[in-house]
Amino acid sequence: MPSGILIVNKPQDWTSMDVCAKLRGVFHEKRVGHAGTLDPMATGVLPVFLGRATRAVEFAESGEKEYLALLQLGLTTDTQDVWGTTLEERPVPEDAKERLEAILPQFTGAIQQVPPMYSAVKINGKKLYELARKGQEVERKPRTVTIHALTAVWGGRVKAAVPGQPWPELPNACFLRIHCSKGTYIRTLCHDMGQALGCGGVMAALQRTEACGFSLGQAHTLEEILQHPDPASLLLPVDSLFGDRPALHLKAQGEKKVRNGTALSTPKLKEREYRVYGETGEFLALSRCSGGRLTIIKSFYEV
């Protein structure tokens, strides 16, 4: 049965679960999951886990991400993007470029965001978007997110950076390159920057260019996957998710203990997480060395 990670370039108007459903049919595998939901209007990197690799999804969801967003100034909507109902339109100041560059630092680092009403955040057991569709608005507590890097790119369509992306050409718009933590709402970032400029702003397009350490250059379109004579050959091994951990290769006795779920005595091993392999090179587990003992965090060997 297929097992591994498929990096999909999610198309616009597909949900992340739509992609998983399609791939279940392609690979004839029920165990399919994804890391990091993308809204239907967004495109870009969606890591999909198949087979035994789904055991790794929990380690992928908390990673940092990178986006390219199109910010349109002069507009405010109820969804904080161009697909919502217009609430207000304002003239864009002539010096918008200079003023936007000046406020970038205040949106970099640890910042506070109020989750938008059109989001899957739950309050009192209800998803916010369910309340929003009923015309209700409730108080939301700000959340701390981290913007590691934020730059603005004016003019052009940045075709070299995002080939194949159908970017709309809009007046009073610029691209934002964003490297951020889990839980960051790019729509809210665009909205808040527009409010800081006094003219309003919305997200007009969004592409995720990196997630879980995987880049857009590694991603495959659904068309490519569906037409490929051997789509299983596109799968990356599950240990590629843990490439930032050092590899630890065990001999037969140590491998046997790991397969039995037994901790190993490793008094000379540095305390940290490791990718653990058996004698033949099979990826066995993600493990942690602490107090001179190597214990399994999650096993991945075939049983």
For 197-216, how does the pLDDT look when each residue is reduced to its tens digit (9 = 90+)? 999 999 999 999 999 999 99
Enclosing H/E stretch for 130 = helix 128-133
Distance from C-alpha of 57 to C-alpha of 268, rounded to nearest angstrom? 31
Co-location of 218 and 282 in the same domain: no
Encoded tokens for 89: 């339109």
Q: In the predicted model, is pLDDT for residue 195 greater than 60?
A: yes
Residue 62's pLDDT band (cuts 50, 70, 90): confident
Task: Please report the DSSP string for 24-71 in residue order.
Answer: HHHHT-S-EEESS---TT-EEEEEEEEGGGGGGHHHHTTS-EEEEEEE
Percent of the chain with pLDDT over 70: 92
Co-location of 223 and 255 in the same domain: no
Residue 244 and residue 104 in contact, taking contact as beta carbons nearer than 8 Å? no
How many domains is the chain partitioned into structurally? 3
Co-location of 76 and 182 in the same domain: yes
Co-location of 109 and 130 in the same domain: yes
Model pTM?
0.89
For 283-299, how does the pLDDT look when each residue is reduced to its tens digit (9 = 90+)? 999 999 999 999 999 99
Enclosing H/E stretch for 197 = helix 186-197
> Which CATH number does the domain housing residue 291 bear?
2.30.130.10
Distance from C-alpha of 150 to C-alpha of 228, rounded to nearest angstrom? 37
- Among 67, 17, 72, CA closest to 43: 67
Position 159 scores a pLDDT of 45
* Bridge partners (DSSP) listed for residue 232: none
For 130-169, how does the pLDDT look when each residue is reduced to its tens digit (9 = 90+)? 766 777 777 778 899 999 999 998 865 444 444 455 677 7
Which has more pLDDT, 115 or 91? 91
Residue 291 and residue 273 in contact, taking contact as beta carbons nearer than 8 Å? no
Co-location of 119 and 200 in the same domain: yes
Q: Is the dihedral of CA 275, 35, 140, 68 positive or negative?
A: positive
Co-location of 189 and 224 in the same domain: no
Residue 125's pLDDT band (cuts 50, 70, 90): confident
In whole angstroms, how large is the CA radius of gyration of the chain?
Answer: 22
> Which CATH number does the domain housing residue 234 bear?
3.30.2350.10
What φ, ψ does residue 272 adopt, rounded to 5°? 180, -175
Domain range enclosing 261? 245-299
Give CA separation, 272 vs 127, 137, 238, 290, in Å.
38, 45, 19, 7
Q: In the predicted model, is pLDDT for residue 45 greater than 60?
A: yes
Co-location of 73 and 135 in the same domain: yes
Co-location of 165 and 207 in the same domain: yes
Co-location of 218 and 207 in the same domain: no
Beta strands in the chain (DSSP E): 4-10, 32-34, 43-50, 65-73, 75-77, 86-89, 109-113, 122-123, 126-127, 143-153, 173-180, 201-211, 214-215, 247-249, 264-265, 273-277, 283-290, 293-299
Catalytic residue among 13, 39, 192, 244: 39
Active site residue 81: no
Position 270 scores a pLDDT of 95
